[in-house]
């Protein structure tokens, strides 16, 4: 039975499905107090067409705790949270006694550091991302029409480029236009994206004609950082 349950709302955030394949984690040390960590991702479309992303992080424990952001271990690539004991108010006599004890402790070498007083090791939400200022796009023809990739490139790079760049907040650059093997024909256009670029992939899908399938970049191709998003033009592209 959980003694404390704390939720933190992380706006403009997506879960990295590669680093965090499980949304609910319960495998913690029996000696600790942590029971469960739950990550809930919510993607909504506003009336003006914009897409909002948010993640709710919920921590359940067997003892009372306060969930705090560890600013020393957090940066633009990682958010680190820690569980701390709640501070209880003492009586006047106890406060005076505490002041005396504090003076003694200050004069002597500290037995433990403030970080060691935390009940658990920090719980790190690996919302990993790299800052992108230019979206590198590869267009591959996977349709029976030999000019589909070129036609899509014209649509994105000339007709819709300003609209796309304004919505994604970065420059758009088509770095490669080619075809897949002849026997590889897709019924629908498929968009592959790196884990931190789901928002941009969704925006591209809204602009492209027809219906698209959006999937994370396969792990075998993740190392190809020169390409951020790959579009396989399917048979349904007209």
Spatial CA neighbour of 197 closest among 135, 153, 152, 139: 135
If pLDDT is split at 50, 70 and 90, which confidence band does 18 have? low
Spatial CA neighbour of 189 closest among 216, 209, 165: 209
CATH 3.40.630 fits 134-233, yes or no: no
> Sign of the C-alpha dihedral, residues 130, 169, 73, 35?
negative
Higher-pLDDT residue of 78 and 119 is 78
C-alpha R_g of the chain:
25
Is residue 231 scored above 70 in pLDDT? Answer: yes
Is residue 160 scored above 50 in pLDDT? Answer: yes
Residue 227: per-residue pLDDT? 82
pTM tops 0.85: no
Contact 203, 168 (CB under 8 A): yes
The CA dihedral of 79, 227, 206, 45, to the nearest 10 degrees, is 0
* Secondary structure class of 92 (helix, strand, coil): helix
Give me 167's structure tokens: 């919505």
Q: How many helices (H) and strands (E) in the chain?
A: 4, 12
Beta-carbon neighbour count of residue 11 at 10 Å? Answer: 8
Most confident of 7-11, 26-30, 59-63, 143-147: 143-147
**Structural domain boundaries of the chain?**
4-125, 134-233
Q: Read off the pLDDT of each residue in 136-162 and give the average, rounded to a whole number.
A: 89
What is the tens place of the pLDDT at every residue in 188-198?
Answer: 999 998 877 88
pLDDT > 70: percent of the chain: 73
Q: Across the chain, what does the average pLDDT equal?
A: 75
């969930």: which residue's tokens? Answer: 67
């602009």: which residue's tokens? Answer: 207
Give me 197's structure tokens: 């670029």
Burial class (CB in 10 A: 0-12, 13-18, 19+), 96: exposed
If pLDDT is split at 50, 70 and 90, which confidence band does 90 have? low
What is the tens place of the pLDDT at every residue in 122-145?
Answer: 443 333 444 558 889 999 999 888
- Range of weakest confidence among 40-44, 54-58, 63-67, 177-181: 63-67
Higher-pLDDT residue of 78 and 196 is 196
């Amino acid at each position: 039975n959980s003694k404390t349950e704390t939720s933190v709302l992380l706006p403009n955030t997506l879960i990295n499905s590669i680093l965090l394949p499980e949304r609910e984690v319960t495998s913690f040390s029996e000696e600790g107090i942590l029971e469960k960590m739950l990550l809930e991702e919510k993607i909504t479309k506003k009336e003006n067409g914009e897409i909002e992303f948010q993640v709710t992080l919920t921590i359940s424990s067997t003892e009372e705790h306060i969930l705090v952001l560890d600013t020393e271990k957090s940066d633009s690539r990682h958010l680190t949270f820690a569980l701390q004991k709640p501070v209880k108010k003492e009586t006047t006599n106890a406060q005076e006694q505490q002041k005396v004890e504090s003076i003694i402790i200050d004069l002597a070498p500290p037995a433990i550091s403030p970080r060691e007083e935390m009940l658990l090791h920090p719980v790190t939400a690996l919302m990993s991302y790299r800052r992108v200022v230019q979206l590198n796009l590869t267009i591959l023809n996977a349709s029976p029409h030999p000019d589909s990739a070129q036609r899509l490139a014209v649509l994105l790079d000339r007709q819709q480029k300003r609209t796309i760049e304004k919505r994604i907040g970065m420059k758009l650059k088509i770095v490669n236009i080619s075809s897949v093997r002849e026997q590889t024909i897709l019924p629908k256009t498929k968009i592959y994206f790196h884990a931190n670029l789901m928002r941009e992939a969704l925006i591209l899908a809204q602009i492209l004609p027809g219906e698209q399938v959006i999937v994370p970049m396969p792990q075998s191709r993740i190392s190809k950082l020169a390409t951020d998003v790959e579009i396989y033009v399917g048979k349904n592209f007209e």
